[in-house]
Amino acid sequence: MAELDLNQDTVQLIIDKAHEFHAGTDVIFPDDIEVNDERWASQTATNFSNDPYYQELKTAIDDLEPDQQVSLVSLMWLGRGDYSISEWADALKFAEETWTDHTADYLIGTSLLADYLQGGLEQLTTEEG
């Protein structure tokens, strides 16, 4: 059974903050970025470092413990369709192996982050129920 090592209220807070940030008029994701484009994540961090919505979202993610960040990344991948619910353990393992201290930038630089997190959360809660 897939379990989330993260409080659902915390995930919902991050979803809400991602919606606020990505709804900004200056936040535009280019069509040609790769799914894991580190340059885009870095550029996003540079471009929006003074944006209060960006700062709130980044702080919310950075304040998580590394294992919680791993769960959040895995949840995003689940919601994006990179992994199925039956592959949850594989997603967690890969996220742990590739974790860096730039996890917040990676997540924030992901177009539709809030939707992916919500989708992953729904899959996990459906699995548990």
Domain extents for the chain?
Answer: 8-128
Question: Looking at residue 33, what is its pLDDT?
Answer: 46
Joined tokens for residue 88: 């949850």
Q: Is the pLDDT score of 115 beyond 50?
A: yes
Distance CA 5, CA 111 (A): 24
* Residue 61 near residue 6 (C-beta atoms within 8 A): no
Question: Looking at residue 71, what is its pLDDT?
Answer: 96
What values do phi and psi take at 6, rounded to 5?
Answer: -160, 135
* Residue 67 near residue 5 (C-beta atoms within 8 A): yes
Question: Looking at residue 35, what is its pLDDT?
Answer: 47
Give the orientation angle of helix 8-22 with respect to helix 52-62, to 10 degrees. 150
The residue among 46 and 6 whose pLDDT is bigger is 6
| Surface-to-core class of residue 10, CB atoms within 10 Å of its CB (0-12 exposed, 13-18 middle, 19+ buried) | middle
Question: Looking at residue 94, what is its pLDDT?
Answer: 96
Question: Looking at residue 41, what is its pLDDT?
Answer: 57
pLDDT tens digits for 48-94? 777 788 899 999 999 999 999 999 999 999 999 999 999 999 999 99
Q: In the chain, which ranges are continuous DSSP H helix?
A: 8-22, 38-47, 52-62, 66-80, 88-98, 103-108, 113-128
pLDDT tens digits for 12-59? 999 999 998 877 656 555 554 454 455 655 666 666 777 788 899 999
Which of 98, 104, 38 has its CA nearest to residue 69?
A: 104
